[in-house]
Amino acid sequence: MRILFVEDDPEQLEPLSTALSHTGHLVDGVQEGETAQWLMQEKTYDLLILDWMLPKVSGLELCTQCRQQGKNTPILLLTAKDTTADKVMGLDAGADDYLIKPVDVMELLARVRALGRRSPQWLGDQLHLHDLTLDLPSMKLKRGDRTLLLSRREYQFLEFFLRHPGQVITREQLELNLWEWDNQPESNAVSTQIRRLRRRLEEVGCADWLETIYGIGYRLQANS
């Protein structure tokens, strides 16, 4: 999933973002509500994780704005505010879940998985193309009797292609959807990742499934 994680405390933001990244998620981590407002307009996210008590624009305001704009993106509200009245206010503002600080990493990951299942983009724990399977929880690629553990980047690229089977994906779409907002890819980064993914697909006998559409981009489709 692509996640926007807004937390003004870097000692919370950095380790929790890293834990989410290690499980295959692409995380845009920001410390200011104003930056989050801009990103919520510019990008499409599968999940928002919002600290309530942010300076200037609070997580609660971000939550309310998101719902007023008609967006149904799942929202997890993080906060030290732990009274029943606080929880009611947060959920009534549009949050789907509410987690009290200090945050346990394992609980955060479990709640993220649960909220991911509510996303309109949820297609199950496995993505399939013909006899090729990507198991999302384990980040493993399976075909026949072959099973490969993918790297985080290989997994993110293959997941994106499997969510758009048969579609021509441009280099710009890959750069927009598979890099963090403040991490601009080098000019050859997409080509490098495509070569690595093709090598992994070759190991299960389907390297030619990932086509180059010259002058446009790439397409993943089964050739059987």
What is the structure's pLDDT at 224? 61
Flag residues of the chain having pLDDT under 70: 120, 224
pLDDT, one tens digit per residue, over 117-157 is 877 677 788 999 999 999 998 999 999 999 999 999 999 99
| Edge-to-edge strands, sheet with 47-51 | 26-30, 2-6, 47-51, 75-79, 97-100
- Are 23 and 151 contacting, i.e. CB atoms less than 8 angstroms apart? no
User: For strand 146-149 and strand 140-143, is the pairing parallel, antiparallel, or unpaired?
Assistant: antiparallel
Is pTM beyond 0.95? Reply is no
